[in-house]
Amino acid sequence: MSNEAVLHAHSDLAHGAHDDHHHEHHHHETFISKYVFSQDHKMIAKQFLITGMVWAILGGLMSVFFRLQLGYPESTFPWLEDILGKWAKGGRISDEAYYALVTTHGTVLVFFVLTAGLSGTFANFLIPLQIGARDMASPFMNMLSYWFFFAASIVMLSSMFVETGPFSGGWTAYPPLSALGDASKGSKTGMDLWLIAMALFVVSSLLGGLNYIATILNMRTKGMSMTRMPLTIWALFFTAVLGVLSFPVLFSGFILLIFDRNFGTSFYLSDIFITGVGALPNEGGSAILYQHLFWFLGHPEVYIILLPAMGMASEILSVNSRKPIFGYMAMVGSLFAIAILAFLVWAHHMFVTGLNPFLGSIFVLLTLLIAVPSAIKVFNWLTTLWRGNIRFTPGMLFAIGFVSLFISGGLTGIWLGNSALDIHLHDTYFVIAHFHIVMGVASMFGMFAGVYHWFPKMYGRYLNNSLAYIHFWVTLAGAYLIFWPMHYEGLAGMPRRYYDYSNWESFKQFLELNRFISTVAIIVFAVQLLFLFNFFYSIFKGRKVTTQNPWQSNTLEWTTPINPGHGNWPGEIPEVHRWAYDYGKDGHDFIPQTTPVGADESHH
């Protein structure tokens, strides 16, 4: 098998061809090689997951801090000064700290949690297990991918401790704030560290993405044709393709930015006037150019975040409805359509930058076209649930919650995709509400669904169900209570990213509403800590998994031992005879992919 060839490629050099032996034991594993510099995809997945969790807590805590400012602009919290020091003098977050917090919250949640933490975790964990491979195409590159992410994390973390603070010009890092050290405090060392961290992050994503694509296309087990793959794998495949094609463009945007920052070039900077500095010597640069390069990644990035959640939700909904997924090929086709359209809509983030209105109308059309594959997916999820024999496991609840949030957030996307409406809605809380629901919370729900569903495979134990149900209901209700009111604020024109609204007659009225949102945000954050407790407690003390296939699922990962070693299957890799969704067929509750097709089976 090509799998063996990769796992043992280095041993080919010394001795000649030897075949047909399978390794039950592996080289002696030390603590370092097993838990730190591991090349086992399952361990790397856990590393991504736990690092992502650390970032989720930090990023969530930042949102609690700035929500305190928005909900209680007149109050002081002396304990904030204990934590944040000079950034919260007298217990009130300073305006600079506020901008630093929203910027870092955005960067961290989009890239470190929902890209690395979500697709890094589940692409690593599920791809080899579900396609029947012993490991990734290049386990070494896979390990590098994690460690580049780790290095990016350290650099990003360190930017919070420099004297001038972390970057504070918004997560999109538009010039001139990002290109000029003199523009603001956060534009100095903080921005340098932000750029280094993001460059390392891009490298990590590319190394990971290359591996995922190569593994899915080359290392599937016998019988696992592309159309027999679980939808999780299809989704992770398109995610990786999007990442590999769009991150390099972001990288080129960053390179030009670095030259403008450090070498006096004029790609983005022109002869603008800065208070305290005077007119810049630069000539003819265009800040819009950066926006084009940034959003050429930025929009696919949205789908990089969302597609893995879609794939996992499809799988979990089908397993727990005890029904085949409705419209498998339509699901694959719509993933493909979304992946293509993802590259053709970036300028809808730039409708009000002075974009040619005719060009804008083309981008409106392409943007609204995304509603078609999205609606196909939604209807297929609903028809999968329809008359199913539903088991409300925590994973299933989060998958259903994902569908709910995707519908709610997707519908406001149709509003925002119109360039005319965008004149009113751009840069308001309506945008905040839209993308938090459809991309942020929905993908978070996909991630939770995945964690609850595959935790037994990851650690050989179950999570506690009671805590899980509390976690689900509070988070779902909280997500709507936080973001629903923001739609109204946005329609009323309340701009995003403002430090204090009490000076505006038109937005003063929202103080009570903001206070309500902040309160719910704090409760939801506390419930995530409950989830974390459940997660770490259950790793060591959770109820043990005693059967190989606890969810009665068809996919290959449940044919491995309860605690699989490096290499996943002790003997031969199983052969696949059917697709992954034979649930409730011919009177059988489920038929695993490894079961040969019987002579008496109905249509196959």
Partner 1 sequence: MMTALHTKQPQRIHPHKFTLWVAMGSIVMMFAGLTSAYIVKKNQSNWLAFELPKIFWVSTIVILLSSLTMHLATKAFKAREMSRYRTLITATAALGVTFLVMQYFGFMDLEGHGIALIGPKSNSSASFLFVITALHMLHVLGGVVALLVIFARAFRTQVKSYNSVPVEIAGIYWHFVDVLWIYLFIFYSWIG
Contact set with partner 1 (CB under 8 A): 1-2, 4-6, 8, 12-14, 17-19, 137-138, 141, 206, 209-211, 213-215, 217-219, 244-249, 251-253, 255-256, 259, 263-267, 281-286, 289, 292-293, 296
Q: Which is nearer to partner 1, 6 or 467 (CB)?
A: 6
Minimum CB–partner distance for residue 286 and partner 1 (Å): 6
Q: Which is nearer to partner 1, 78 or 264 (CB)?
A: 264
* 88 half-sphere exposure, CB direction, 13 A CA radius: 23
Q: Give SS3 for 463.
A: coil
Give the CA distances from residue 402 to residues 115, 256, 281, in Å, rounded to whole numbers and listed in that order. 17, 38, 51
Q: Which is nearer to partner 1, 12 or 575 (CB)?
A: 12
Minimum CB–partner distance for residue 597 and partner 1 (Å): 23
Q: Which is nearer to partner 1, 74 or 283 (CB)?
A: 283
In angstroms, the CA 348 to CA 431 distance is 12
Q: What DSSP string describes 420-451? A: HHHHHHTTBHHHHHHHIIIIIIHHHHHHHHHH
In angstroms, the CA 146 to CA 138 distance is 13
Please, what sign has the CA dihedral across residues 214, 216, 217, 219? positive
Q: Which is nearer to partner 1, 249 or 433 (CB)?
A: 249
Burial call 346-370: b when 16+ CB within 10 Å, e when fewer: bbbbbbeeebeeeebeebbebbebb
Minimum CB–partner distance for residue 3 and partner 1 (Å): 9
Q: Which is nearer to partner 1, 244 or 369 (CB)?
A: 244
Q: Cβ of 3: how many Cβ atoms within 10 Å?
A: 23
Q: What are φ and ψ of residue 121, in 5° steps? A: -70, -55
Strand partners, 495: 428
Minimum CB–partner distance for residue 111 and partner 1 (Å): 17
In angstroms, the CA 573 to CA 148 distance is 31
Minimum CB–partner distance for residue 250 and partner 1 (Å): 8
In angstroms, the CA 411 to CA 378 distance is 12
Q: Which is nearer to partner 1, 49 or 249 (CB)?
A: 249
Minimum CB–partner distance for residue 171 and partner 1 (Å): 20
Minimum CB–partner distance for residue 77 and partner 1 (Å): 45
Q: What DSSP string describes 320-345? A: HHTSPPTTHHHHHHHHHHHHHHGGG-
Q: Which is nearer to partner 1, 174 or 488 (CB)?
A: 174
* Contact (Cβ atoms closer than 8 angstroms) between residue 236 and residue 127: yes
Minimum CB–partner distance for residue 2 and partner 1 (Å): 6
Q: Give SS3 for 28.
A: coil
* Pairing verdict, β 278-279 and 273-274: antiparallel
Minimum CB–partner distance for residue 207 and partner 1 (Å): 9
Q: What are φ and ψ of residue 353, in 5° steps? A: -90, 5
Q: Which is nearer to partner 1, 260 or 489 (CB)?
A: 260
In angstroms, the CA 304 to CA 162 distance is 31
